[in-house]
Amino acid sequence: MKKRFPILLLMSLSLTLFGQPCKLVKPGMDKAQVISLVGNPAEIDTVISPDGFDKGEIVSIVWQYGDVTNYGHQRIEFDGDIVSKEVIADGKKFDDLMRSFELGEFPASELDERI
């Protein structure tokens, strides 16, 4: 058993870190810190405010890690060069949840619980 414990510990640690590398990212970090921790994103999206579309007013920048069409991809949202929110651990699941909320499938009071 003593020989198995370090192997199990190493396996769980590697799954935690490499399975969701963005867990290390925290609000307040800048882009350079994020890149040094988890590398370059697979995709970068710019969110523009609906009323500022013609003006090109950028609301936030979202870095996507992993295939955005599959469950499990991670998102980091920036306000300027600083991480503005907690990392979204599963972007597709989050999108599905928000779509259900917008369709009225559950009340606003349950939104925080489900995220």
Over residues 33-62, the pLDDT tens digits come to 999 999 999 999 988 766 655 666 777 899
Please give the Cα distance from 81 to 61 (Å, whole number). 9
Given this model, what pLDDT does residue 17 score? 45
What does the pLDDT look like over 76-91, one tens digit per residue?
Answer: 999 889 999 888 888 8
Please give the Cα distance from 83 to 60 (Å, whole number). 10
Which structure tokens are listed for 114?
């489900």
Domains of the chain as residue ranges with CATH? 22-114 (3.30.1450)
* Amino acid symbol at 22: C
HEC per residue, 51-73: HHCCCCCEEEEEEEECCCCCCCC
DSSP conformational letter for 88: B
* Phi, psi angles (nearest 5°) of residue 31: -60, -40
The better pLDDT of the pair 5, 57 is held by 57
